[in-house]
Structure 1
Amino acid sequence: MKEQIKDKRTAILKAALKLFTERGFHGTSTAQISKNAGVATGTLFNYFPTKEDLINSLYFEVKGNLSHAMGNGLEAESTFQDKLKKIWSNLVNWGVENQEEFLFVGQFCSSPYITKFTRDEVMKEYIFLHNLVDEGIKAGKIRDFSAELVIAMFYQSSRTVVNFILDSDSSLDENKVSEDGFQILWRGLVKE
């Protein structure tokens, strides 16, 4: 029984992700999501009482998946630069490999439909990045900027690189573009 409940919830979230990225929040009705998920509209409301609840749940899940991907293999890195580069590579690769999720995060990261509670809970998933940046600043590895600004620049720069890769032809060397993007960011951060 629990498996069936999880399957319906997952189907609803997948359908919502697809439709929100294609049509936006206002252009997507709960009836469309239900139909795409293969469930009754009443079933959707059993899991998510409002469309806003659905979007917040989806945002929380996608951002959680992203944070796990970003931290993958981080423990194997020894230097500050290598750790930051690993997070960068993981983020860029995730964006290229998970285009719908990437688009969703970009569309809704500043959305008024994402509650403060959801944003605060999601940010707990990224404490490892905040701690790493704080350590880099305190150790003098990077300039004494606001950690929040560094993280925002890190994220927006990675979005630019992912979009560049997605918008380019297939002959593009994605690893080189990712490396070049990191070097641009790194040179702006590192103390001279």
Structure 2
Amino acid sequence: MLALVKENGFHGTPMSMVARHAGVAAGTIYHYFESKEKLICELFGYIRKQMIAAVAKGDAEPLSYKDRFYSIWMNLYRFYEANPDMLWYIEQFVNSPYNTRKPEAGPDAFHSQLFSFFSRGVTEGYLKDMNPEILGILAHVNIIMTAKMQGKGQVVISDPELQQIAQLLWDGMCRHPGTS
């Protein structure tokens, strides 16, 4: 589904094409997903779970807050780097009519996890006294754009340079740069 949607868009990918690509009968697809909309939304949910796992993998309590920040940054970056079709799908989904989540519903599970991490950083004095949601969005957009630029070959970024990008972001958010 990821590859088909990337190639044809949501509207240009009928369920018959999905079934053909999967090597199954269309009825089989409908056995698991009652509609194309349901399949599109469930795939988005699956991707979000993978993102949550990537963030959780980098959030180890014994590490210093700063090290956890770097680990989360790098793990989420590596997730997007390894799954460029998922990143593309996310961007298409959030800007599509399939995304029916209302802002008043609050953040989804992925953003709640991210905002919680940044909220803790603000509360415990590691990060500047700012809205943790703004800090989380700033970090996430930084990761996404870095992965997209690298993935499209617009820049070649070495591992030490990735660390520098995360360091610049940390320095801008940290209440006392140079500390953990």
Q: Same fold (TM over 0.5)?
A: yes
1:74 and 1:83 in contact (8 A); partners too: yes
The structure 2 residue matched to 1:154, chosen from 139, 144, 147, is: 139
The CA deviation at 1:69 is 1.7
TM-score, normalised to structure 2, is 0.85
Offset at residue 115 of structure 1 (A):
3.2
> Among 122, 131, 136, which residue is 1:137 paired with?
122
CA positional deviation for 1:126 = 5.0
Give a deviation string over 1:148-173, Cα, whole Å, max 9, x none: 22111111110111012112279x34
8 Å Cα contact 2:58/2:68 also seen in 1: no
Distance (Å, rounded) in 2 between the aligned partners of 1:94 and 1:124? 17
Aligned counterparts of 1:181 and 1:96: Cα–Cα separation in 2: 15
**What runs of 5+ residues in structure 1 fail to find an aligned partner?**
1-15
Tell me which amino acid in the other structure corresponds to 1:178. L
Displacement of 1:55 after TM fit? 0.7
Distance 1:126 1:183, change over 3 A: same
Stretch of structure 1 that moved more, 65-74 or 78-87: 65-74
Q: Deviations over 1:68-97 (max 9, x none)?
A: 022214326521111111010001111111
Matched residues in 2 for 1:149 and 1:106: separation? 19
Q: Of the candidates 101, 105, 108, which is equivalent to residue 123 of structure 1?
A: 108
Length-normalised TM-score, structure 1 = 0.80
> Is residue 69–residue 94 contact of structure 1 (8 Å, CA) maintained in 2?
yes
After the TM superposition, which parts of structure 1 deviate over 4 Å for at least 4 consecutive aligned residues? none
> Which has the higher mean CA deviation after the structures are superposed, 84-93 or 37-46?
37-46
Superposed CA RMSD: 2.4
The separation in 1 between residues aligned to 2:122 and 2:110, in whole angstroms, is: 21
Residue 174 of structure 1 is matched in structure 2 by 158
2:93 maps to what in 1? 108
The verdict on how the C-alpha distance between 1:91 and 1:77 changes in structure 2, with shifts beyond 3 A counting, is farther
Question: What is the aligned partner in structure 2 of residue 48 from structure 1?
Answer: 33
The code of the aligned residue for 1:174 comes to: S
Q: Which has the higher contact order (CA 8 A, sep 6+)?
A: 2
CA contact (8 A) 1:70 1:90 kept: yes
Q: Give the structure with the larger helix fraction.
A: 1
How far did residue 183 of structure 1 move? 2.1
